[in-house]
Structure 1
Amino acid sequence: VDHGRSATFLAELKDKVERCTTPVVVAGDFNLIRCASEKSSPNVYQVRMRLFNDCIADLALHEIARVGARFTWTNK
């Protein structure tokens, strides 16, 4: 995954959600993480994680809890 445009993506997402005049649901696989425990490896980029969490907080979004598997992918 190329995260070179992650900050731009989050800025665009924030702009679009802030323009909405009705309630909105934001869903998708953004290939971004909120905390280190969401990674299957110890490689965590703190700045990008903070940008994602700040965007979620600024927009007052609430994460829907996952039920079942820890990850949405598998190597098996």
Structure 2
Amino acid sequence: MTKLRLSALLDDKPVKITVELPAAVHRDLVAYAEILARTSGEATPPDPAKLVAPMLQRFMATDKGFAKEKCTTQR
């Protein structure tokens, strides 16, 4: 079974932003959503746009340089 970095998406009050993504990134988001649905047993894949925030959260949470600087600037 494939082990993805994301799990079920939590329902949270969003802040709307608009971004442009390269077509290749969008295709990968669509593929990721399809794999996520298949591995979690969901009938339909989530909207690929809903994957962006959890992916960014995960990226920032595991970036040691960011965590170090964040702690320094919040003192």
Q: Is the structural similarity TM-score above 0.5? A: no
Q: Which protein has the larger Cα radius of gyration, Structure 1 or Structure 2?
A: 2
Q: TM-score, normalised by structure 2?
A: 0.33
User: Higher helix share goes to which structure?
Assistant: 2
Which structure is richer in relative contact order (CA contacts within 8 A, separation 6 or more)?
A: 1
